Amino acid sequence: MSSRRSSFRKRQKPPFERFKDRCRQFTAFMFSNVGIILLVIFYTIGGAFIFQAIELFEYERLRTHKTVKRNFGDECLQEIWEITAQNISFYDNKYYKAKVNEILLKFQRGIAHQNLLDPEVDKQWSFSGAFLYSLTVITTIGYGNISPKSDWGKLVTILYAIIGMPLFLLYLSNIGDVLAKSFKWIYSKVCLCRICPGVARRRIIRERRKLRRLALSKALHDMESRRSSSSTSGSRSSNSSSSSYYSEETETSTQSMSALEIFEEENDSDIEREIRMNTDEITVPLMVCVIIMIRLDCVEWISTNKIKIKFCFKCIHSRSYILAGAILFSRWEEWDYLDGSYFCFISLSSIGFGDLVPGERVITADKDKVEVSFILCAVYLLLGMALIAMCFNLMQEQVIHNVRAIKRAFKSCFRCRR
Amino acid sequence: MSKSVRSSRHNSRAGSSNSSSPSTPPRKRVKRCCRNFVTFMCTQLGVGALIVLYAIFGALSFMHIEREYIDETTDYVIKLRHNCAEKMWNITEKFNTFDRSEWQNNTIDILLEYQAEIATLIKNGYVGRTPEQIWSFPAALMFCLSVITMIGYGNMVPRTPWGKGFTVIYATFGIPLYILYFLNMGKVLARSFKFLYRSLHECAHERTIYDSHLEALENGSLSILQRKKIIVPSTACLWVIISYILTGTIMFANWEKWSFLNSFYFCMTSLCKIGFGDFVPGASLVTAADIEAASLKIKEDASADPEEIFNMQLITDQNSKLAINFFYMLVGMGLVSMCYNLMREAVRMKIKEIKEDTKLCLEDTRARFMGCCGTREYYDEDYY
């Protein structure tokens, strides 16, 4: 009754106030959800600029301070030349080869060290690379393909993570909540055919009919049992008990009749209210959540496939201008389905090994040029995390529901035993 | 489930009425103690043990899977090197040493080609160690921990398709387990820390409390005073975390010969679950070749000067330290969760206070405003 009264009251509100309410809701929504998305994005962009500035500054300082990098190629060449000059008279094939092999091993170690210790900093810390770096920090993925080399960079990373991670968690919980709500709404409308009111109404009417039938049968059963018991007990003194028995029967019949009347009271507003209540109580089954998670994988490998084609062109282009002897960028290892889904899982569960990295193609691209693939990647990460949060939200509901049911079952079991 | 619920109820009742009912028979008390102990073992220690067992199981199976991986790159590198030497020999034969510039031009071409190939291989994950060397037991344990805690250092990754698939499955079951551990451990540690803090607090303010008790006894309201809630301030949690991180910093700085900033950075990124993997204890990429060289050197010449050998051994038996690192990480995660628990409480209290303050403030201003308006209205009414 109270809800109806309140709705009645709502209907009487003047249009101006209703508009005001709408506006207030809208602004709240903007501030809470859109605001937090924007905050995360701006925080990441700011972090990207800061890290880029710090790392590039450090790089420049190091380059001017230190001597030029050791040129392993020239050293190796010099050594080989010396050996050749010494051994040319012997013409000892085996000895010469062993010596050259040793020198080559040393050369290889040198390359490995150079590759692992200081890769090309200014190419790594392009804007897109730095953006991806700050994204991996606040999402705690941490691929590790780009990591700060300077002391200040490390300190700023720590501070950045301390502030950024709670912000991202807030984003996750907020967006996950909103997504879960909307997904639940869609699920209830589409999958359970709540969208057309006729179906729902028919379903509820059917359920009620079933209930009524149950109640009727129960009442009948009671009546019969009573009649039989009374007949057995009343066999000795049937005359005395007959009156009471009749009264009992009439009572039960009136009860059942009242129950029927209650069921027949249904009207449209009642049904509508029930529909609304049902939509609140719906829990999305676990399977649907799991399927969504798997779908995410599929989306990822489709996108990687698309990018792959783009990348091949870029690769060919880049090969022409990279000087031989500098660190070569690897060919983009074409990911198969397993690798794609593996990468996606590792990223979205925020493990982030970094053996397969989406940023690779971003970094190899030209400096100061925002790529489509890079934007795609960032959006994929942000959205994917939110979707995972949504799935967790839904699954939590379902699990709590199940646990409660199990508890109830246990309790009833214990009661029976006692 | 119901058993644990009942026992926990017992527990709470015992906690609340421990002092008031010392006359329970000893047998019952022992029984209750036993039950509490069993539930504690099952819930808290059980989860911890489950995590450790799960990690060990994962480590063994990953070792089994990953050692099957046939490392073609090592053979390929050796072949490449031999090829390179062969080509150089050919060049030497062809041009001889008389024409140096020609010889150099040809040789440098070969060298650059070789360098490019090696760089590609390194980019694709060539480390220069066989799978048996990489997947030692402590390292595999560390890998499993990095998967289920979502740190993901990435210094060692599964290379076989079976390994990748198993990683995904392992993570799906491991991460919820870890979260359970995280929440559970946080609760337990928070409770014990609170207890510790409370006892310390009472020790420090014993006299005042005693006095207040006396007063309260006189007034007859002892129970109210005892029920006073003590909330651990967030600074205390921060101090705990900072001290833990600092001990870790010093430990790693000593063991790994890192600078203090680097080891602090490592501790922070690990406990924040970021895990870049540029610094990894024991099996870092940078020292991978060094470890190999060191072990080779120890084998080859035992007659080197003792200090150097000692240093070499320090590098080589770093694997055993990984186990300690494992427990450092696990306990650290528990501490972080504890701080999260405690700080949430403190923050909630603060937010409530702020809310009340703002409400009071708003009401005050409204009252003032209303007073102003009211007087004006009053005046207006008076005027009209």
DSSP codes of every residue in A2-22:
HHHHHHHHHHTS-HHHHHHHH
Contact B273 A350 (CB under 8 A): yes
Sequence spans of domains, chain A:
2-71+122-190, 72-117, 199-281, 286-417
Nearest partner of A124 among A286, A334, A362, judged by Cα: A362
What is the percent of chain A where pLDDT is above 70? 55
> At a CB cut-off of 8 Å and minimum separation 6, what does B342 contact?
B190, B193, B194, B232, B234, B236, B237
Q: How far is CA B86 from CA A79, A200, B109, in A?
A: 16, 81, 14
- Cα angle for residues A154, A158, A160 (degrees, 5° grid): 110
Q: What is the pLDDT of residue B143?
A: 87
Within 8 A of B287 by CB-CB distance, chain A residues are none
Q: Which residue has the tokens 């079933």?
A: A210
**What single string gives the DSSP state of each residue in A312-344?**
HHHHHHHHHHSPBTBPPPPP-PPP-HHHHHHHH
For residues A362 and A125, give the distance between their C-alpha atoms in angstroms, rounded to a whole number.
11
Give the Cα separation of A286 and A113 in Å (integer).
49
Q: Do A157 and B161 touch (CB under 8 A)?
A: no
Q: Does B275 contact A142 at a Cβ distance shorter than 8 Å?
A: yes
AA identity, residue A174: N
Cβ-Cβ contacts under 8 Å between A and B: the total is: 177
pLDDT average, residue stretch A360-381: 60
Instruction: Say how far apart CA B279 and CA B261 lie, in whole Å.
Output: 12
Q: Give per-residue pLDDT as tens, B21-63.
A: 455 678 888 988 888 888 877 777 788 888 989 999 999 999 8
HSE-up of residue B162 (Cα within 13 Å, Cβ side): 10
Average pLDDT over residues A153-176: 90
Does residue A145 carry a pLDDT above 90? no
Determine contact: B77 vs chain A, CB below 8 A.
yes
Model pLDDT, residue B288: 47
Higher pLDDT, B179 or A417: B179
pLDDT for B11: 42
Task: Specify whether the CB–CB gap between A356 and A335 falls below 8 A.
Answer: yes
Q: Does residue B278 have a pLDDT over 50?
A: yes
Domains of chain B, each with CATH number or no CATH:
28-71+130-353 (1.10.287.70)
Interchain contact, A410 vs B2, CB within 8 Å: yes
In chain B, which residue's Cα lies nearest the Cα of A85?
Answer: B97
- Cα separation, B17 vs A161, in Å, equals 46
Q: Tokens at residue A288, please?
A: 């649907």
Residues 6+ apart with CB under 8 A from A139: A168, A350, A381, A382, A385
pLDDT for B292-350, tens place per residue? 555 555 555 545 455 555 555 555 555 566 677 788 888 888 888 888 888 888 888 88
Q: Note whether B122 and A115 are within 8 A (CB).
A: yes
- Non-local (6+) Cβ contacts of A154 within 8 A are A148, B261, B262, B265
CA distance B76 to chain A (A): 13
Q: Which of A52, A119, A126, A139 has the alpha carbon at shortest distance from A362? A: A126
Q: In the prediction, which pLDDT does A160 show? A: 93
Report CA Rg, chain B: 33
Residue A65 has pLDDT above 60, yes or no: yes
**Residue linked to tokens 């628990």:** B341
Do B344 and B187 meet the contact criterion of CB atoms below 8 Å apart?
Answer: no
The pLDDT of residue A114:
67
User: Would you call B150 and A349 a contact, using CB atoms and an 8 Å cutoff?
Assistant: yes
pLDDT of residue A50: 92
pLDDT, position B7: 42
3-state per-residue secondary structure call for A225-288: HHHHHHHHHCCCCHHHHHHHHHHHHHHHHHHHHHHHHHHHCCCHHHHHHHHHHHHHHCCCCHHH
pLDDT band at B105 (very low <50, low <70, confident <90, very high): confident
Asked whether the predicted pLDDT for residue A88 surpasses 70, the reply is no
Distance CA A71, CA B216 (A): 83
Residues of B in contact with A409 (CB under 8 A): none
φ, ψ (nearest 5 deg) of residue A108:
-65, -45
Which residues lie closer than 8 Å to A100 by C-beta, 6 or more apart? A80, A83, B84, B85, B88, B89
Question: How many angstroms separate the Cα of A159 from the Cα of each of A51, A94, A169?
Answer: 12, 58, 16
* Better-scored residue on pLDDT, B56 or A356: B56
Per-residue pLDDT tens digits for A380-407: 778 778 877 877 777 777 788 888 889 9
Q: Is B174 exposed, middle or buried (0-12, 13-18, 19+ CB in 10 A)?
A: buried
| Better-predicted residue by pLDDT, B128 or A183 | A183
- A157 and B278 within 8 Å at the Cβ level: the answer is no
How far apart are alpha carbons B123 and A330 in whole angstroms? 6
Q: What per-residue confidence (pLDDT) applies to B57?
A: 93
DSSP letter for each residue of B258-289 = --HHHHHHHHHHHHTT----SS-TTT-HHHHH
Q: Which residues of B touch A315 (CB under 8 A)?
A: none
Distance CA B283, CA B317 (A): 10
List, in sequence order, the alpha helices (H) in chain B: 2-16, 26-40, 46-66, 72-95, 100-123, 131-134, 137-148, 161-204, 206-219, 222-226, 234-256, 260-271, 285-300, 306-316, 321-383
Q: Nearest to residue B4, comparing CAs of B58, B43, B51, B62? A: B43
Which residue of chain B has the CA closest to A92? B89
Give the Cα separation of A47 and A135 in Å (integer): 9
Distance, in Å, from the CA atom of B287 to the CA atom of B276, rounded to the nearest integer, reads 16
pLDDT on residue B180: 86
Which of A392, A186, A155, A397 lies closest to A289, judged by CA?
Answer: A392
Task: Report CA torsion sign: A192, A197, A200, A203.
Answer: negative
Nearest partner of A109 among B72, B290, B315, judged by Cα: B290
Is the pLDDT higher at A29 or at A255? A29
Testing the interface with B: which of A76, A84, A173 to mutate, by most B Cβ within 10 A?
A84
> Closest to A142 (Cβ–Cβ): which among B77, B113, B274?
B274
Interface check A222 vs B, CB under 8 A: no
Q: Is B238 on the interface with A (CB under 8 A)?
A: no
Dist CA B57 CA B305 (whole Å)? 42
What totals of helices (H) and strands (E) does chain A contain, helices first? 15, 0
Q: Tell if the CB–CB gap between B97 and A85 is shorter than 8 Å.
A: yes
The token duo for B162 is 């079976």
Q: Is the Cβ–Cβ distance between B124 and A330 less than 8 Å?
A: yes
DSSP B257: -
Cα dist from B41 to B47, B53, B101, B325, B330, whole Å: 9, 15, 78, 24, 18
Closest Cβ–Cβ partner in B116, B168, B285 for A324: B116
Q: What's the token pair of residue B103? A: 């010889």
The better pLDDT of the pair A49, A121 is held by: A49
The answer for residues whose C-beta is within 8 angstroms of residue B334's C-beta and 6 or more apart is B181, B182, B185, B186, B189
* Rounded Cα–Cα distance for residues A190 and A200 (Å): 12
| Calpha distance A118→A114 (Å, rounded) | 6
Q: Which segment of A233-237, B173-177, B350-354 scores lowest on mean pLDDT?
A: A233-237
* CA angle B123–B126–B130, rounded 5-degree value: 165
B368 class by beta-carbon count within 10 Å (0-12 exposed, 13-18 middle, 19+ buried): exposed
Count other C-beta atoms under 10 Å from residue B25's C-beta: 8
Contact B44, B188 (CB under 8 A): yes
d(CA A345, CA A341) in angstroms, rounded, equals 6
Q: What is the predicted pLDDT for the residue at A323?
A: 24
Put simply, the answer to whether A108 touches B289 (Cβ < 8 Å) is no
Of the two residues A8 and A18, the one the predictor is more confident about is: A18
3-state secondary structure A149-198: CCHHHHHHHHHHHHHHHHHHHHHHHHHHHHHHHHHHHHHHHHCCCCCCHH
Residue B308 CA, chain-centre distance (Å), reads 33
Q: Which of B96, B101, B382, B139 is nearest to B284 (CA)?
A: B139
So what's the pLDDT on residue B8? 42
**Distance from CA of residue B316 to its chain's centroid?**
24
Q: Which pair of structure tokens corresponds to residue B166?
A: 């198993």
pLDDT, residue B296, reads 58
Q: What is the dotted CATH code of the domain comprising A2-71+122-190?
A: 1.10.287.70
The values of phi and psi at residue A317, to 5°, are -65, -45
Task: For an interface test with B, give the residue of A355, A363, A406 to mutate (most B CBs within 10 A).
Answer: A355
Q: Which residue has the higher pLDDT, B121 or A296?
A: B121
Whole-number pLDDT of residue B6: 42
pLDDT digits (tens, 9 = 90+) for A260-312: 555 545 556 666 666 655 555 556 666 666 666 665 555 554 444 444 434 33
How does residue B246 score in pLDDT terms, banded at 50, 70 and 90?
A: very high
pLDDT at B313: 57
Determine which of A191-205, B138-152, B155-169, B324-338 has the lowest per-residue pLDDT on average: A191-205
What is the rounded average pLDDT for all residues in chain A?
A: 69
